[in-house]
Structure 1
Amino acid sequence: MLSDRIRSAAGTFAVGALAAHLVSTVLQNTPDSYNQDLRKFTGGWPIPGWRFFAPNPGVQNVHLLVREAVPDDDGTTPWRDVTPEVPHGWTQVLWNPGSRGPKALFDAMQQLSVMSANQADFSWVTQSVPYQLVFAASRAVAAENARALQFLLMNVFPSAPPDQRMKPILTSEWIPLGPRAVEEAGR
């Protein structure tokens, strides 16, 4: 009889503590942020402070465009969008191993966007890991007969007026391709 009361009390306490934790978590993460008032009532218990999209929500997409210098006509190919498409479906919520490559490329492009926005020295940018990763992704889709390639990162703002939807972020120099360029890239 006493053990039933103890179990019941422990269960009630656990449910109450969980409910209090969930309510305080919701209040902690509201736009009006009541967290300053809640901290004195938590008694050292940590309340998660998630800011999924704040303070700067994503309002643009970053696209990778590539063009090549080809020997056929001594000209360049038109810019083409080679941004990897990530399929969306209900199974991706549970299992999506194919998202890692595009996510890594997206993160690298975002880092280059930040460097460009902060007026980083171009020679420093070209030596960065994100630049090398974006070059490698561009090289992977380049034509086999290409002598050189150039990539362009472009911000696309889907909700902007049509004449203001695209803004270039970074244009690479012409990067020579071929056996010599592959050897130099390996050093």
Structure 2
Amino acid sequence: MNGQRVVYSAVSTGLAAWLVSTVAGQLPDQRFDRLLARGPFRLLPAPNWRFFGPNPGVDDAHLLYRDITAGTAAPWKEIEVTPDRPWYALAWNAGNRAPKVLLDTLQVIIKVSNDSCADMVRITSSPGYLILRDYLTTRIPHDPGADHTQFMLLRGHPERGQPYAVEPLFASRHIPLRPDSSAAAAAR
């Protein structure tokens, strides 16, 4: 009995210390970083990722596309990047992977666009652009007879008491559609 108490106490103390050091390492205030990173046991791994990062996201990303038929462009349609989460998503959100990939892809395109001074050859050969191009041509239903599609990235700035401001970030070139892509995407 006494041995079980010692083991129970040791495990409980270790888990409590781990929890406290994890929480202290994720606080926005960095005063605990040096304390946790010193000593033979180094409780804080490098790099140190904060829960909300040094600059938390405060903007909304919008992805719009339109089909082009014989040179005539249809109105823009929005693709829902971040769908509403179900109530149980706090504990189990397996459906979050596809929206996360889409958001990361948009960020790659924006970063390459900013870094390359809008060099379209570099942007259109970036992995983010290629992934989004393939997503648009294979997974999104298109108008019958559409021969091209185009997408646009927008950033929304929600601020309390202010009108919702939208800023265009990037518009793609016309992307050719395969003749069977409209029917194949509509069947999904």
Match of 1:69 in 2: 68
Q: How far apart, CA to CA, are the structure 1 residues paired with 2:80 and 2:10?
A: 52
Q: How far apart, CA to CA, are the structure 2 residues paired with 1:104 and 1:54?
A: 19
Match of 1:18 in 2: 15
Residue 129 of structure 1, CA deviation: 2.3
Residue 57 of structure 1, CA deviation: 0.8
Partner of 1:155: helix, strand, or coil? strand
Q: How far apart, CA to CA, are the structure 2 residues paired with 1:131 and 1:103?
A: 15
Aligned ranges for residues 150-169 of structure 1 at < 5 Å? 150-159=150-159, 161-162=162-163, 165-169=165-169
The one-letter amino acid of 1:104's match is V
Please report the TM-score for the alignment, with normalisation by the length of structure 2: 0.78
Partner of 2:23: helix, strand, or coil? helix
Q: Residues 91 and 167 of structure 1: is their aligned pair in 2 closer, same or farther, counting only changes over 3 Å?
A: same
Deviations 1:21-69 (A, max 9, x none): 222222222222211023335x324336441221121111211111222
| Contact 2:64/2:77, CA 8 A, preserved across alignment | yes
Match of 1:138 in 2: 136
Task: Identify the range of structure 1 (82-91 vs 58-67) with the bigger mean alpha-carbon deviation.
Answer: 82-91
The one-letter amino acid of 1:27's match is A
Q: Structure 1: which 5+ residue stretches go unaligned?
A: 182-187
Q: Residues 146 and 95 of structure 1: is their aligned pair in 2 closer, same or farther, counting only changes over 3 Å?
A: same
Partner of 2:143: helix, strand, or coil? coil
Bigger share in helix: 1
Flag the structure with larger Rg: 1
Q: Residues 97 and 143 of structure 1: is their aligned pair in 2 closer, same or farther, counting only changes over 3 Å?
A: farther
| Identical aligned residues as a percent | 31
The one-letter amino acid of 1:162's match is P
| Contact 2:66/2:77, CA 8 A, preserved across alignment | yes
Q: How far apart, CA to CA, are the structure 1 residues paired with 2:172 and 2:91?
A: 37
Partner of 2:38: helix, strand, or coil? helix
Residue 156 of structure 1, CA deviation: 1.4
Aligned Cα root-mean-square deviation (Å): 2.7
Paired residue total:
175
1:92 to 2:93 alignment: no
Q: How far apart, CA to CA, are the structure 2 residues paired with 1:85 and 1:23?
A: 33
| Contact 2:28/2:50, CA 8 A, preserved across alignment | no
1:58 to 2:82 alignment: no
